[in-house]
A and B are shown apart, each in its own frame.
Chain A
Amino acid sequence: MEGGLVLLGGGGGGGGSGSGGGSSGVSTNESAVSKVEVVSEASSYPAESELELGLGLSLGGSGGATGKTKVGTSSWGECGRILTAKDFPSVVSHRANNGGPSVSVSGTKRAAESVSHEGGSPTGVSSQVVGWPPIRAYRMNSLVNQAKAPRAEDDGIGEKDKAKDSFKKKPYNGNKINSAVNEKGHLGFVKVNMDGIPIGRKVDLNAHSCYESLAQALEDMFLRSAPTINSIGAEKEQVTKPSKLLDGSSEFVLTYEDKEGDWMLVGDVPWRMFLSSVRRLRIMRTSEANGLAPRFHDRNERQRSKPI
């Protein structure tokens, strides 16, 4: 390309008329339709040229199957007017003001929203955003579990003292990772299945700080089909009414499988202890949960084979 990248619109040709590339509609009270001219908004991007993007669908032509980036606005004309005002009776051309991410209910966004373009970097920002940093759950869980594993003493072969010293010097040690991870919100997603429902869900245990809120979230997820279903692992809990799942008044009871493979009633142990030992959850019919407290073996009574 000569002279670097030339943006569509701006300088050349008949950009101003914008008759090509389809029309677009702006919803007004009178439902009058006019062409929308998109002006690149005030942002850190130096907008020497204004871009015109019609709201038309480009079928073939520029940017399509040929993949060629055409210079100038003539390419928009080649698309043809596929869409007319009739196609856009109520599409509103609307821009978020701050150029930041749109409001979303999935995942907590407070950290992301607080970051501006001024370049200040927030501290500890990534802890509350779903799926960020992008690390697979398998890897995260391995990391977490290793942090709790006891470290064998390094004596005998090797530089014993050096190793020990370096363990002390570095800020990392098993305990710190453990607590840092639990406090900052590691990937505490566990599977939840409910008797009678084939599709399981996942819940982020770190979005909760007590049994009540967890039970509330699970009730919302499984026992109510209201449109205000919270995204999994999303907003902080609102502890309001006592949960029926926990007090035995419901047809169902909340149980969990611990690290040893035993099924237990949820609520027996302190919350932190529960967090460190829970593997997955099951909403069980009360009729099947008889004899569950305090220890309960899975009803098929499978033999646990020792690995060695």
Chain B
Amino acid sequence: MQKKMAYSFPDEVLEHVFSFIQSDKDRNAVSMVCKSWYEIERWCRRKIFIGNCYAVSPRIMIRRFPEIRSVELKGKPHFADFNLVPEGWGGYILPWIVEMAGAYPWLEEIRLKRMVVTDESLELIAKSFKNFKVLVLSFCEGFSTDGLAAIAASCKNLKELDLRESEVDDLSGHWLSHFPETYTSLVSLNISCLGSDEVSFSALERLVGRCPNLRTLQLNRAVPLDKIATILRRAPQLVEFGTGTYAAELRPDVFSNLAGAFSSCKELRSLSGFWDVVPAYLPAIYSVCSRISSLNLSYATIQSHDLIKLVCHCPSLQRLLVLDYIEDSGLEALASSCKDLQELRVFPSDPFGAEPNVSLTEQGLVAVSLGCPKLQSVLYFCHQMTNSALVNIAQNRPNLTRFRLCIIAPRKPDYVTLEPLDVGFGAIVQHCKDLRRLSLSGLLTDRVFEYIGTYAKKLEMLSVAFAGDSDLGLHHVLSGCESLRKLEIRDCSFGDKALLANAAKLETMRSLWMSSCSVSFGACKLLGQKMPRLNVEVIDERGPPDSRPESCPVEKLYIYRSVAGPRFDMPPFVWTMDDEDSALRLS
């Protein structure tokens, strides 16, 4: 006898209610209320985000969620960006596409980050999904313009093609011509990562001209400055625009044409590109600057005074990416002009120079923290720092949610007191109670980790390099940071003890990366044996770890939770420690 609740809604009503719930967290919560809600929810979930492609298998995803329209996947660990993950490690999208081709014929959106995407994968996407609309490939690799041509030719409803900093093999500039003349639905195109010969300009021009809904266009460096006006006049409705090379011989007619074209773009809110900037051409954008909220000048090798002039024209600026040529003086100007600033990223112009080549110090960051009340997100490369500057920043900006500081020389202390920077970063975590992401640098002892473990309760991602003294440091973080999801560590003397003592914590996190630390092979094996829901992967290019003593530290270690079990697509230099004693695969 089945009891029916008198007040329960029909499924369709619940489904309609659930359709207003978009965030993954809320959807997951909904699905855990009761069995019937679980069932209803899984049938009406349309979007899925998988932060680690090896945490779950395509089959498991398809079995639970049969009606997905949008998939987002991430592959390689973050430190792959800095060449710490050897080529061939993994993160292949093809198996996912193959499964989804059969299960999700109505798939519309694929967003990938740090995955290996082949032309075969792209061709399969083009062939399999009739209503395909959005393809975003961030920091991906493995494909060529042939794959892009397949997408262009087949995806009649494509709205978004975004190749953010992916590595694309240059084969032919004609792939853009594969968009048929009847294709008009483009909304967003980012090809800024393509090399010099990978775009035919006339095809681009025609494409832009026939797509009235185009809102985002980011060109690659090969597009010369004198072509910008042509493009803009065909797409004055653009909201985000990325130039190509911003350099040309200075000619008044070119300048006024350019300035006129920019001024006709009333909707423009975001600018980027600016390779090889010739400062004299910068005033051409002044007419739009008052509405600009996002400015990426991180490739613009121009001097501080030119940057200051530009920035002072942008009172609505919320997001600025810039090189350290801006210097302290430029940051002070920024602090007084741009009161709406939320995000600042300052990149080094000469990362390997022994001496700083520009006058950018901790003072610049302090000035911005003081002058910009809405500042939430900071990425700052510099050569020197003090505890007192960090304390100032923390006190000025308790609303920081992302703080990534990179002092370029490893283990550099407070340059005034010569002490470690423990107290400074301690102030950051103590005052910034909503801090979600933190990257450390400079001279740091176990004490900074004590502060982090005590105060950084909302911290989700922590990056550590050349820091700490002992396992105590790692233990503080693993035992104290309740919200920790991603931890990446390099060149720290953390070993077995803290890792083994906090093994259960690892199942509550997405992943842990440790390279050039002191974790022994024996500990890895133990962890793999005792924690069946963790994949413990040892990356070691010296050959099989069991050819060395068990106490020998492994080169690199990547641990992640997974319901899919160990993976089978590993290259010869990766070993999974799993539950069977004999499972260790020899190379």
Closest to A152 in B: B278
Measured between beta carbons, the chain A residues less than 8 angstroms from B193 are 138
Measured between beta carbons, the chain B residues less than 8 angstroms from A64 are 502, 504-505, 508
Measured between beta carbons, the chain B residues less than 8 angstroms from A29 are none
Closest to B327 in A: A170
CA distance A306 to B298 in the complex (A): 27
Number of interface residues of A (CB under 8 A): 123
Looking at the complex, which of B21-29, B42-50, B128-136, B511-519 is the stretch in contact with chain A? B511-519
Contact flags A74-90 to B (C-beta < 8 A → 1, else 0): 00000000110001101
Q: Tell which of B82, B165, B479 touches A135, judged by Cβ atoms closer than 8 Å.
A: B82
CA distance A231 to B84 in the complex (A): 10
**Nearest-CB distance from A65 to chain B (Å)?**
6
Is B413 in contact with A51, judged by CB distance below 8 angstroms?
Answer: no
Closest to A259 in B: B196
Q: Tell which of A41, A132, A157 touches B283, judged by Cβ atoms closer than 8 Å.
A: A157
Is B357 in contact with A308, judged by CB distance below 8 angstroms?
Answer: no
CA distance A133 to B466 in the complex (A): 12
Does B206 touch A at the CB level, under 8 Å? no
Number of interface residues of B (CB under 8 A): 130
**Nearest-CB distance from B491 to chain A (Å)?**
4
Looking at the complex, which of B248-256, B312-320, B367-375 is the stretch in contact with chain A? B248-256
Q: Tell which of B466, B523, B543, B556 touches A106, judged by Cβ atoms closer than 8 Å.
A: B556
Contact flags B394-410 to A (C-beta < 8 A → 1, else 0): 00000000000010111
| Interface positions of B from 452 to 497, Cβ below 8 Å from A | 453-454, 463, 465-466, 469-472, 475, 478-483, 490-493, 495-497
Is B409 in contact with A53, judged by CB distance below 8 angstroms?
Answer: no
**Nearest-CB distance from A38 to chain B (Å)?**
6
Q: Tell which of A104, A124, A170, A184 touches B358, judged by Cβ atoms closer than 8 Å.
A: A170
Closest to A303 in B: B172
Does A96 touch B at the CB level, under 8 Å? yes
Is A156 in contact with B349, judged by CB distance below 8 angstroms?
Answer: no
CA distance A38 to B419 in the complex (A): 26
| Interface positions of A from 215 to 248, Cβ below 8 Å from B | 225-233
Known: A45-B470, A129-B410, A200-B88. A91 touches B526 (CB 8 A): yes
Is A100 in contact with B224, judged by CB distance below 8 angstroms?
Answer: no
| Interface positions of A from 153 to 171, Cβ below 8 Å from B | 153-158, 162-163, 166-167, 170-171
Contact flags A36-61 to B (C-beta < 8 A → 1, else 0): 00101101110000010111111111
**Nearest-CB distance from B143 to chain A (Å)?**
13
Is B490 in contact with A96, judged by CB distance below 8 angstroms?
Answer: no
**Nearest-CB distance from B423 to chain A (Å)?**
13
Identify the interface centre among A5, A121, A233: most chain B CB within 10 Å of its CB: A121
Is A307 in contact with B197, judged by CB distance below 8 angstroms?
Answer: yes
Known: A44-B445, A106-B556, A184-B353. A126 touches B409 (CB 8 A): yes
Q: Tell which of B173, B248, B503 touches A59, judged by Cβ atoms closer than 8 Å.
A: B503
Does B39 touch A at the CB level, under 8 Å? no
Is B79 in contact with A131, judged by CB distance below 8 angstroms?
Answer: yes
Looking at the complex, which of A11-19, A142-150, A263-271 is the stretch in contact with chain B? A142-150
Q: Tell which of B357, B450, B500, B501 touches A171, judged by Cβ atoms closer than 8 Å.
A: B357
Closest to B284 in A: A157
**Nearest-CB distance from A204 to chain B (Å)?**
8
Looking at the complex, which of B3-11, B60-68, B96-104, B299-307 is the stretch in contact with chain A? B299-307
CA distance A147 to B353 in the complex (A): 14
**Nearest-CB distance from A130 to chain B (Å)?**
6
**Nearest-CB distance from A198 to chain B (Å)?**
9
Closest to A100 in B: B493
Known: A41-B470, A157-B252. A21 touches B501 (CB 8 A): yes
Measured between beta carbons, the chain A residues less than 8 angstroms from B157 are none
Is A55 in contact with B497, judged by CB distance below 8 angstroms?
Answer: yes
**Nearest-CB distance from A275 to chain B (Å)?**
15
Is A302 in contact with B196, judged by CB distance below 8 angstroms?
Answer: no
Is B88 in contact with A201, judged by CB distance below 8 angstroms?
Answer: yes
Is A43 in contact with B542, judged by CB distance below 8 angstroms?
Answer: no
Closest to A98 in B: B493
Does A189 touch B at the CB level, under 8 Å? yes
Measured between beta carbons, the chain B residues less than 8 angstroms from A1 are 454
Q: Tell which of B201, B415, B497, B518 touches A307, judged by Cβ atoms closer than 8 Å.
A: B201
Contacts A53-B475, A102-B553, A306-B197 given; 5 further ones with Cβ under 8 A?
A: A67-B483, A94-B520, A153-B250, A172-B350, A231-B541
| 18 A–B pairs (Cβ distance < 8 Å), ordered by A | A45-B469, A67-B508, A92-B522, A94-B551, A96-B495, A104-B515, A126-B408, A126-B409, A134-B82, A137-B81, A142-B275, A170-B357, A202-B83, A231-B541, A231-B542, A304-B173, A307-B200, A307-B223
- Top 4 A-B pairs, shortest CB-CB distance: A227-B543, A124-B354, A131-B82, A64-B504
Question: Chain A residues in contact with chain B, CB under 8 A?
Answer: 1, 5, 7, 21, 27, 38, 40-41, 43-45, 51, 53-65, 67-69, 82-83, 87-88, 90-96, 99-107, 109, 111-112, 115, 117, 119, 121-127, 129-140, 142-143, 146-147, 149, 151-158, 162-163, 166-167, 170-172, 177, 180-181, 184-187, 189, 191, 199-202, 225-233, 261, 302-308
